[in-house]
C-alpha cells in the first residue's frame, strides 16, 4: 500500500525568543524535542520509509536528521515545506507545499519501491494539506487540541494512503502517531 507521512517537527526551544520563529534557522529542538525525535524514529523505522523531505527550519531539519540516522533513509531539504509566514494565507501555503505532495504521491503509487515517504513540516502547512487532501473541516476543528491549536502534537504523524475504493484523488487520512508525552491522560 502506498503511504506518505506528514510529520510535524519535534518540540523546539520556545525559550529562544532571540531567534525569529518564522525565519531560518528558527529555534533549535529542546531536550524534550530530541527525545520526541528518537521516539518518532523508532515509530518510522518499521514502516520502511524510503525518503525524507524537510522544511529548512532547524526544528524540522534536526528532527528529520535524527529519523534519517535511525532509518537510513536519505534526506532532502524542500523549501516548499517551510513554516507558514505571517503574510501568507492557505492558498499561498498550498501553492508551495501541495505540488511536492502530489509529485511524491504519483511516484509512490506508480512504484511501490519509491515509498513510503515522510515529509517534515509545521502545523500550519499540515492543516492546509490535510484540508486539500480531503479531510473535512469539522474533523480538523475537533482535532485542534494540541499546542497552538495544531491538529497534531510536536513529532506527531498523519498517514496518507489510498482511499477505500482506490480512486485517484481519494485518500485515507489518519493520525497514526502521538508521542507518549502528548497523549491525553485518561
**Tens digit of pLDDT for each residue in 34-44?**
999 999 999 99
| pLDDT score at 186 | 43
Helix (H) or strand (E) holding 175: strand 171-177
**Tens digit of pLDDT for each residue in 58-117?**
999 999 999 999 999 999 999 999 999 999 999 999 999 999 999 999 999 899 888 899
| pLDDT score at 169 | 59
Cα 118 versus chain centre, distance = 7
| pLDDT score at 79 | 96
| pLDDT score at 170 | 77
Cis peptide bond N-terminal to 25, omega within 30: yes
Q: What is the pTM of this model?
A: 0.93
Ordered by start, the domain boundaries in the chain are 3-182
Just give the CATH number of 3-182.
3.40.50.1240
Q: Alpha-carbon distance 30 to 14, whole Å?
A: 8
Q: Which three cell numbers, joined as nine digits, stand for 99?
A: 505540488
Q: Alpha-carbon distance 181 to 184, whole Å?
A: 8
**Tens digit of pLDDT for each residue in 129-173?**
999 999 998 999 998 889 888 999 999 999 999 765 445 557 899
Asked if residues 116 and 49 have their Cβ atoms less than 8 Å apart, the reply is yes
Strands, sheet with 3-8, edge to edge from the N-terminal-most edge strand: 75-77, 51-54, 117-121, 3-8, 157-162, 171-177
| pLDDT score at 183 | 64
Amino acid at each position: 500500500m502506498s503511504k506518505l507521512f506528514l510529520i510535524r517537527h519535534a518540540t523546539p526551544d520556545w525559550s529562544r525568543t532571540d531567534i525569529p520563529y518564522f525565519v531560518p534557522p528558527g529555534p533549535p529542538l529542546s531536550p524534550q524535542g530530541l527525545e520526541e525525535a528518537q521516539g518518532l524514529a523508532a515509530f518510522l523505522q518499521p514502516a520502511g520509509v524510503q525518503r525524507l523531505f524537510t522544511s529548512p527550519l532547524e526544528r524540522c531539519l534536526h528532527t528529520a536528521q535524527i529519523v534519517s540516522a535511525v532509518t537510513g533513509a536519505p534526506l532532502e531539504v524542500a523549501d516548499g515545506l517551510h513554516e507558514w509566514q505571517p503574510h501568507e494565507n492557505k492558498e499561498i501555503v498550498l501553492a508551495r507545499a501541495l505540488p511536492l505532495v502530489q509529485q511524491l504521491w504519483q511516484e509512490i503509487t506508480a512504484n511501490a519501491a519509491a515509498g513510503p515517504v515522510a515529509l517534515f513540516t509545521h502545523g500550519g502547512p499540515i492543516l492546509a494539506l490535510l484540508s486539500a487532501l480531503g479531510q473535512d473541516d469539522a474533523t480538523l476543528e475537533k482535532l485542534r487540541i494540541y499546542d497552538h491549536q495544531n491538529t497534531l502534537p510536536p513529532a506527531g504523524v498523519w498517514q496518507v494512503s489510498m482511499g477505500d475504493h482506490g480512486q485517484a484523488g481519494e485518500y485515507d487520512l489518519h493520525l497514526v502517531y502521538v508521542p507518549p508525552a502528548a497523549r491525553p491522560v485518561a
